[in-house]
Amino acid sequence: MELLGEVTSPEPEPEPEPEPTGDHTLLVIKMISGLEKEFDLTSTEVDTFIDWYNNRADGRGKETYMFEKDMKGPFTARKDYVAFSKIQSFEVMEYSK
């Protein structure tokens, strides 16, 4: 209710939630042992993994997939190998940095 002589300003519109652009992706691989492995990848890297996975499901390609890991520590290289036959499922979550 507006009183005479009182000026009210309109409520500002709330900022819309930004839509993720999907330029980065968190890939979570659940192994048959129950272990979960997380990899922070670009969308292109995830597409490459999914192509490898689909090819292996069709009987083509190598049994293992190699992920280059961050260089935290005194290492000259860090690699994580995941065996196709040990993967139970995986989840892809896109986000923006």
Q: What is the mean pLDDT of each run of 10 residues along the chain (97 residues)?
A: 58 60 86 97 95 98 94 86 98 90
Per-residue pLDDT, 70? 80
Gyration radius of the chain's alpha carbons: 23
Q: What pLDDT digit, counting tens, does each position of 16-32 carry?
A: 555 555 578 999 999 99
pTM > 0.75: no
What's CA 19's distance to the chain center, in Å? Answer: 15
Q: Note whether 44 and 64 are within 8 A (CB).
A: no
